[in-house]
């Protein structure tokens, strides 16, 4: 986390700023630039996070909606174990503080007033839990022989995937489903059941087995393990 007393650090961070006795809250980051376009703002935040947290990986994306705009920093990998809720909260605050340095916020809860240059969101993505599980040792190791990009090209409608392992209670465990469509972001099975492709780091295929990491804080090593049954050539 940034040390506010360190040379070059801002005088105060977002998490260290509090409302006054009348409920007025005002924060303006030291890296704020008025009227900055969203793509430029997101690019600056992305580069700053990479520089400030060099041992971590992030994916930054933007979103616009009626109330304004949001910039989300998704954590893809981090050397720390974030399974503990307090560790998660501390980590999220530290990342958000660095994002908020690029914006401003003014509000008064008593007057139902709020204005901000952008909404900052920090998420711990599935790719992080997959990376953590890799460091701990996976229960269903699958050699990454076929990349996700190659799998998308090789898998065809008519192929089948048999779910041979999944988190406890998964209702499709043991089910074999036929693929009816392959799209850029997912597979569609018969019965309009979808399998969303994960990030490449959460996917592994050795040509026979397909492993999709679906971990979260309670079970970082959770996965969907399929047996790939290509359609017999005519």
What is the rounded average pLDDT of the residues 38-66?
Answer: 95
Q: Using CA atoms in the order 94, 44, 105, 80, what is the torsion angle rounded to 10 degrees?
A: -10
Report how far apart, in Å, the C-alpha atoms of 183 and of each of 113, 134, 154 are: 44, 28, 12
- What's the pTM value of the predicted model, to 2 decimals? 0.76
More confident site: 217 or 31 = 31
Question: Over 21-85, what HEC string results?
Answer: CCCEEEEECCCCCCCCCHHHHHHHHHHHHHHHCCCCEEEEEEEEECCEEEEEEEEEECCCCCCCH
* pLDDT per residue as tens digits for the range 151-204: 999 999 999 999 999 988 888 899 999 999 999 999 999 988 999 999 898 899
Average pLDDT score, the chain:
90
Total residues belonging to the chain? 234
- Of the candidate CATH numbers 3.30.379, 3.90.1200, 3.30.300, 1.20.910, the domain formed by 14-124 belongs to 3.30.300
In the chain, CATH 3.30.300 sits at 14-124
Closest by CA position to 119, among listed 98, 105, 140, 109: 105
**Distance (Å, whole) CA 218 – CA 199:** 20
Highest mean pLDDT (candidates 20-29, 44-53, 112-121, 199-208): 44-53
3-state helix, strand, coil in the chain (%, to 5): 25, 35, 40
User: What's the pLDDT tens digit per position in 107-162?
Assistant: 998 888 889 999 999 999 888 998 898 888 878 899 999 999 999 999 999 999 99
């Amino acid at each position: 986390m940034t040390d506010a007393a360190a040379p070059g650090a801002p005088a105060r961070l977002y998490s260290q700023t509090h409302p006054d006795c009348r409920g007025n809250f005002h924060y303006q980051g030291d890296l704020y630039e008025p009227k900055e376009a969203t793509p430029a703002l997101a690019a600056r935040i992305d580069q700053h996070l990479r520089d400030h947290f060099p041992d971590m990986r992030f994916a930054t994306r933007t979103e616009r909606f009626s109330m304004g705009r949001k910039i989300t920093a998704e954590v893809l990998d981090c050397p720390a174990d974030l399974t503990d809720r307090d560790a998660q909260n501390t980590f999220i605050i530290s990342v958000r503080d660095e994002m908020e340095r690029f914006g401003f916020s003014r509000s008064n809860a008593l007057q139902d007033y709020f204005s901000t240059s952008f909404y900052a969101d920090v998420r711990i993505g599935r790719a992080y839990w997959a990376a953590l599980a890799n460091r701990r040792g996976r229960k269903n190791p699958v050699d990454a022989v076929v990349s996700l990009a190659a799998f998308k090209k090789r898998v065809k409608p008519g192929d089948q995937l048999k779910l041979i392992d999944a988190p406890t209670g998964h209702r499709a465990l043991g089910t074999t489903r036929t693929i009816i469509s392959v799209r850029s972001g997912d597979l569609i099975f018969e019965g309009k059941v979808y399998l969303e492709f994960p990030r490449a780091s959460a996917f592994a295929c050795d040509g026979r087995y397909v492993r999709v990491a679906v971990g979260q804080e309670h079970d970082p090593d959770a996965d969907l393990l399929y047996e790939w049954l290509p359609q017999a050539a005519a």
